[in-house]
Amino acid sequence: MNADLHCHSSVSDGTLEPEAVAARAKANGVELWALTDHDEVGGQQRARAAAQALGLPYLTGTEISVTFAGVTVHIVGLGFDASDARLTRGLAATRGGREARAREMSDELAKVGIVGAYEGALPFVGNPDLISRTHFARHLVESGVCSDTQEVFRRFLVEGKPGFVPHRWATLRDAVTWIGDAGGIAVVAHPARYKFTPTEEYALFTEFKALGGRGVEVVTGAHSAADALRYADTAREFDLLASRGSDFHSPEESRIDLGTLPPLPGGLTPVWEALTSQILAPG
């Protein structure tokens, strides 16, 4: 099954409108799709409707920013009720600090001679509630400070580099509870990206599981083949469902396009097998 259960539209920090992401998924052979905008379900109706019109089975999705052990961890939610009041309130609260953070990021960049970054990032922002580092990164590329967004995330906006502003997101408990109580499945996104020690990573999965978390991304844009095998082991060790998603943001920036990931390693239970009743089938 060519499932792609992680990607972004202009409702968060992707560059394509939800309808265009749907069309690209369909054209690339995706057989089950979820749009997972950061901290936001505002694109879900459009994504669903577009998928329906294209004959593309759909699951609701989001990617929630969480602070765990002082590190930002992303939790993907799949198959929930997007109108659930506690979830939508929780996501709104999670989005709440982004504006002030963005202004602080701009002040930090000004200290190293990059002035007006906030104003520069704004034209890239599709959703005023969701100004993100990605929008700053696009501005720094457009203004010639860096040659691509990868370079931005090496030189700026990350811990220890200019423009980084520590931020407190949702708690792991909140994110997992909001998703689960809305009828969905919580999934640890791209675990290889966090660079946790083995002890920290064990603590993350142990706590995630205890809170009701049920899945882990095994195959995703940021994972190497070795990472996929490693997190296949994690899925078996913690009895977690395995997910697969490109984390596509933009045709110009994303290394992995929608629907072009390798298959899940064998011996795992795909997360979509536990979500059959939540899949919106076309027709």
Window of 46-54, 103-111, 184-192, 251-259 that interacts with Mn ion by CB under 5 A: 184-192
Q: How far is the CB of 261 from ligand AMP (least distance, A)?
A: 17
- In the complex, the smallest distance separating the C-beta of residue 253 from Mn ion, rounded to whole angstroms, is 10
- Chain centre distance of CA 262: 19
> Which residues, at least 6 apart from 195, have a Cβ–Cβ distance to it below 8 Å?
none
> Between 30 and 137, whose beta carbon lies closer to ligand AMP?
137
Among 38, 48, 190, 223, the residue binding ligand AMP under the rule CB under 6 A is 38
Q: Concatenated DSSP letters for 222-278?
A: T--HHHHHHHHHHHHHTT-EEEEE--B--TTT-SS-TT-SPPPPTT--BGGGG-GGG
Of 48-56, 131-139, 206-214, 260-268, which part binds ligand AMP (CB under 6 A)? 131-139
- The residue (of 248 and 272) whose beta carbon lies closer to Mn ion is 248
Which residues inside 9-28 make contact with Mn ion, applying CB under 5 A? 13
Contact code string over 81-100 relative to ligand AMP, x by CB under 6 A = --------------------
Q: Which is nearer to ligand AMP, 153 or 238 (CB)?
A: 153
Does the protein bind ligand AMP through residue 153 (CB under 6 A)? yes
Sole residue written with tokens 């697969």? 244
* Of the candidates 26, 36, 27, 14, the residue with the CA atom closest to the CA atom of residue 217: 36
According to DSSP, the residues that pair with 215 across neighbouring strands are 187, 241
Residue with Cβ nearer ligand AMP (147 or 206): 147
Stretch that binds ligand AMP, among 51-59, 119-127, 147-155, 265-273 (CB under 6 A): 147-155
Helix pair 133-142, 98-110: axis angle to 10 deg: 40
Residue (196 or 232) nearer to ligand AMP, CB: 196
- For residue 42, the one-letter residue type is G
The piece of 71-79, 117-125, 137-145, 253-261 that touches Mn ion (CB under 5 A) is 71-79
Nearest CA-CA partner of 265 in 231, 240, 238: 231
Q: Which does 150 bind (CB under 5 to 8 A by kind): Mn ion, ligand AMP, none?
A: ligand AMP
What is the residue type of 262? P
Residue 147 touching ligand AMP (CB under 6 A): no
Cα–Cα distance list, 60 to 68, 134, 179, 185 (Å): 24, 23, 11, 10
Q: Does 4 bind Mn ion (CB under 5 A)?
A: no
User: What one-letter code names the amino acid at 252?
Assistant: E
Q: What is the spatial distance between Cα 194 and Cα 256, in angstroms, rounded to a whole number?
A: 19
Show contacts with ligand AMP in window 216-275 (CB under 6 A).
249
Q: Which strand (E) or helix (H) includes residue 281? A: none
State yes or no: residue 133 binds ligand AMP (CB under 6 A): yes
Are β-strands 215-220 and 71-78 bridged in parallel, bridged antiparallel, or unpaired?
unpaired
Residues that bind ligand AMP (CB under 6 A): 13, 38, 65, 132-134, 149-150, 153, 249
